Amino acid sequence: MNKNIMTFDEWAILGKDEGMERGHHNSVEHMFKIIEKKNYKNYSAIDYGCGNGWVVRKFKESSLCKDAHGLDGAQHMIKKAKQKDPKGVYFNDNIENWNPNQKYDIVFSMETLYYFNAPETIINKIFEKVLNDNGTFIMGIDHYAENPDSLNWGTQFNLNITTLSINDWKLLFKNAGFNNIVYKQVEQKDSWNGTLIIHGTK
């Protein structure tokens, strides 16, 4: 088990997942508004780095969503997700190694991809193997080069982190083959430059 998965597993045991849910709630609301404007009907979705499954459950509340699944490497996060949503589909696997047995209309990810050394390999796989044609990948992150208040997190929380700029992330989307790539920063406050949201269409 890698260091990051061990840390998040420990956080789930300590109940820190609920604080993460509260802290990310407003940014996720912005992401859902973007998804709503895309007018998908009867769509399928998967949340990369689903934690305790709260975003998956949010997807399932929508009458437009036929199916929503979750993926996370931390065993205790998935255990919590299944406790809260016994009928839900949650995969406990390392995101880098996981291969889907179906494709999805929406791949969602909040505060996950910068925890990997090579996020481009994950984004490439999402484009090639996980998304349906005309599907959307939407990602939100708080740690990026233009948000200096986040830059010490690796040391502060004992995590391996990849720090990229907004343009770097946009380029990863472009190189993977995504079209209509759009980004915005939301929930800025004082010196906090907010959550970076990027989305693109296959």
Tens digit of each residue's pLDDT (9 = 90 or more) over 9-27: 575 566 665 756 677 899 9
Look up tokens 């796989």; give the residue.
125
Look at residue 109 and tell me whether its pLDDT is greater than 80.
Answer: yes
Stretch 175-189: mean pLDDT, rounded? 97
**Residue 19 corresponds to which tokens in the numbers above?**
């604080």
Write down the pLDDT at residue 85: 96
Task: Say how far apart CA 190 and CA 202 lie, in whole Å.
Answer: 35
Q: Using an 8 Å Cβ cutoff, are 160 and 171 in contact?
A: no
Write down the pLDDT at residue 6: 74
Stretch 32-59: mean pLDDT, rounded? 96
The DSSP H or E segment spanning 32 is helix 16-37
Domain boundaries, the chain: 3-201
- Going from the C-alpha of 55 to that of each of 68, 92, 114, 182, 198, the distances in angstroms are 9, 16, 19, 21, 17
Write down the pLDDT at residue 17: 59
- CATH class of the region 3-201: alpha beta
